Structure 1
Amino acid sequence: MNRFVVISGCSGGGKSTLLGELARRGHTIVEEPGRRIVEQELACRGSALPWVDGIAFAHRAIDVALTDRAAVEHLSGWVFFDRSAIDAVVALDHLSEGRGRYAGTLPRYHDTVFLTPPWPEIYVNDRERRHGFDDAVAEYQRLLVAYPAHGYRVSVLARMTVGKRADAILTALAQSASVC
């Protein structure tokens, strides 16, 4: 059973808050590559930013996600990722003609990917998230198609409290572990 669980979906859909709850409950989490890249690029006045050079940003996000995945191989228990390399590949495919470039080369995660749907009531822009809600919804729609195309089951998380979302994920994972 693959212990590496992806939480992805709509920007501003509550992923980071949910991951914070899972960390509070003692689970290992891996922060979103994109946010870390944006912070670094803004700090050093770089250009690998989604609103400046989206292709360079997507390539960096793939590299960071692959490095993150390799860095936690030795850990035991559930490891939760705020997005994965697949998210970055989807962004790259959307921006360029590189479709299929990474087919079959990405490491596997748990068979079920949990997606946070668009949630306009909690969506906010900030220093690192400058795109609008419509762009976030379009990204979500691409991920909703891409994850099954990469061989994953998608579980869309209901709009509920962060505690209930964490409970739902942990229950689903416990059930999938007992089936194996």
Structure 2
Amino acid sequence: MLRIESLRRDRFGPFDLALAPGEACAVTGPSGAGKSVFLRMVADLDPSEGRVSLDGVDRAAVPAPLWRRRVTYLAAEAGWWAETVAEHFPTGAPDRLAREREALRLPAEVFGWPVARLSTGERQRLALLRALAVNPRVLLLDEPTASLDPDSVRGAEAVIAGRRAAGLIVLLVSHDPAQVARLATRRLAVAGGKPA
């Protein structure tokens, strides 16, 4: 269970939310409403007050790198810091992720490609795969399909749904009402940095 209690900073919050394994909550609202800031606070990437816990373990009791492996944030434009795709994945991940890679319409040889060769859509699909490679308990998705064609969107949604069926908790920022309807079991509307 992911519990968020009185999570706030500056003009954002307070937010309260509890999500069980397999639940997906869409965080909706206009651009600039504070949706991404909310996800970043949950991931402990932005300073905040309040309490966030996973299965009864408080975020404050867990080293930040370990928390971020359990509660993984995927930015709308993910960063790439090494020359090749493979350098961004743990050892053995390409084999473990083969079915999800196929669903994302990426060829097996993609792990050997230089990052500079990737299209925007390939980078976005690989960033989702990279986030899943660490087997997070919670996945925080900020516009995860914004740059994708319809077939790739379907593949990404199928991968997310498959992980949810296995117990992954998802918080999803999306401006696509149809996607929200397909993926989310709940909604959290945000306006002016606060729950609406």
TM-score with structure 1 length normalisation? Answer: 0.44
Query: Which has the higher Rg, Structure 1 or Structure 2?
Result: 2
